[in-house]
Structure 1
Amino acid sequence: MSSTQFSLAKLRAATNNFSTDNVIGTGRSGLIYKAHLSNGLTVAIKNYDPDRFQGFREFRAEAEALGKLRHPNIVKLLSYQASGSVMLLVYEYVERGNLHERLRESCSFSWFDKFKILRGVANGLAYLHGLENPVIHRDIASRNVLVDSDYEPRIINFGLSRTIDKCHSLSHVSTAVAGSVPYMAPEYRSGSTKATVKGDVYSFGILMMETVLGPTRCSRYFKVSAQNRDFDLVEWVRGIELDKIISDFSGYSGYFVDALWPEYIRIALLCANDNPEDRPVMNEVVQMLNQILPHTPASSRSTG
């Protein structure tokens, strides 16, 4: 996958020797740069910190995972460089950036676009979980979803991902707890070391709530601290009065409120069920979303 097109010399030149002027994002293990190559291609480059052992582990995990994955809703890995202290991953560049930042711009997406993004994420997860050896992402969050100019999403950041070895009839991976706490399934927060695809399903349910409610509103309910890891968004959504919460969404049309909202919240709460056995698999989630989204009229693309 490494090629002369993405040689270290060319990547250095395209980023002005990895100047901070070209930084477009920050990850757990390094910085992400935007680069314009001499052939006209624009790419994103993740430069892992060589002084962090976690960086090496995540670089290897991400390179191994993305090197095998091919799906329109999974970010495309174009190349990698690993030489001495240098660890670089080169990805396709996705124009609109991460979903978390875009959601903070109140007029950035219509609710139709938000649904399209979520359906794409669901399709990407269904693909990962449906592989012969399923891949568990373990860190589904709005910061780990990029959005292109057509509002199609890409799932990114596979550094924490794990693969279930079906050759040994396994249904889980034994590993340390990892991921973003607000999206973390209750079984993980309780100390379980068995990672399953149902953990991703829970995170997707939280993502569904955040995408419609918005990160600013959700931040009131992300009651997270290093001491108690308390989290109450699901309970709040489960107990909300529809008319009360909808009255705050002046941008949403009556079609959304009457036809889509109740089913949307039902699906989100199914995914975010406390009991992993009661959560649907992602293929079922895709089917449920497809039942409501195809009927969305194009004229209903009101901003929200």
Structure 2
Amino acid sequence: MFFAFLVILCGKRKKPQKVQNPVSTTTTTTTTELFSTITANNSASFDPTLQISMTKLRRATKNFSSDFIIGGGRFGLIYKAQLSNGVTVAIKRLDPDAFKGSQEFWAEMVTLGMLHHPNIVKILGYCMTDSNKLLIYEFIQNGSLDQWLHLQEEEKPDVTTLSWGTRIQIVRGVANGLSFLHGLDKPIAHQDIKSSNVLLDSNFQAHISDFGLARRIDASTSYASSQSQSTGTMGYSYKPPEYKDGLTVPTLEADVYSLGS
């Protein structure tokens, strides 16, 4: 019954929102032109009110001090920092030695740079040098759903666990975000839906994050669809049966299965 409820939620697709072009700090050209000019020692903001540079990011994190680390992903660390204008952001610093980290950088930057939805984490910009690849996101206050689901009252007795009403709100938010992705003219499969990739804001609204494995379903020349093979988190058990039977291409159904699991 619970899985059927999730499928119904995903089936109620909203009309896809118009995709907006990101704004560069150095150009007002189209999205395609912006991404085609990205090279090493380059940075840009998708928010015209922010000025992003490696110097500013190093200053905000005290040269990426471990004191600012709030998490980590498959290919790097995540830092919390306050920029000079007072805006708090999350900075994903990808491992420079990881080839797949470079692939994730491009996939996530291009995908999120062109998507705008209340249940999808917002990317604010990027910064790239010869040795660093940084992605800058809005800071989501309450961390990941995974942290809350595994919260032990004896460890944090002053923190209230998630109520059923809040859990339903979170599930609905993730379903709405997936419905948006799947309902685009060129649908996007996230490919790694799990509790640690769902971030919760101050009102416990869900924001889908980590688009490093996201792929468009149809053949495309975009960076986001350059790799068609279905992957996912190593060791993650909630993969649909067809993947175990040898399917190697991303599907929208796999996202729904992961949500239901």
Tell me whether the two structures share a fold, i.e. TM-score over 0.5: yes
Count how many residue pairs are aligned between Structure 1 and Structure 2. 203
1:133–1:139: structure 2 CA closer, same or farther, 3 Å change rule? same
- Paired with 1:195 and 1:166, the residues of 2 have a C-alpha distance of 12
Match of 2:243 among 188, 212, 218: 188
Match of 2:106 among 33, 54, 60: 60
8 Å contact from structure 1 (residues 136, 195) kept in 2: yes
Letter in 2 for 1:145: V
| Aligned twin of 2:74 | 28
More RCO (CA 8 Å, sep 6+): 2
8 Å contact from structure 1 (residues 173, 195) kept in 2: no
Match of 1:176 among 207, 229, 240: 229
**RMSD (Å) for aligned C-alpha atoms:** 2.0
8 Å contact from structure 1 (residues 146, 154) kept in 2: yes
The alpha carbon displacement at 1:9 in A equals: 0.7
| Aligned twin of 1:11 | 57
The alpha carbon displacement at 1:187 in A equals: 1.2
The alpha carbon displacement at 1:35 in A equals: 0.4
TM-score by length of 1: 0.64
Match of 2:191 among 124, 138, 143: 138
8 Å contact from structure 1 (residues 133, 166) kept in 2: no
| Aligned twin of 2:7 | none
Query: Secondary structure of the residue that 1:80 maps to in structure 2?
Result: strand
Instruction: Report which of the two structures shows the higher radius of gyration computed on alpha carbons.
Output: 1
| Aligned twin of 2:174 | 121
1:58–1:173: structure 2 CA closer, same or farther, 3 Å change rule? closer
| Aligned twin of 2:202 | 149
Matches within 5 A, 1:44-59: 44-59=90-105
The alpha carbon displacement at 1:173 in A equals: 9.7
- Paired with 1:79 and 1:90, the residues of 2 have a C-alpha distance of 5
Matches within 5 A, 1:122-271: 122-165=175-218, 175-180=228-233, 181-206=236-261
TM-score by length of 2: 0.74
Query: Structure 2: which 5+ residue stretches go unaligned?
Result: 1-23, 25-43, 153-159
Identify, as 1 or 2, the structure richer in helix: 1
Determine if the alignment matches structure 1 residue 87 to structure 2 residue 133.
Answer: yes
Letter in 1 for 2:205: E
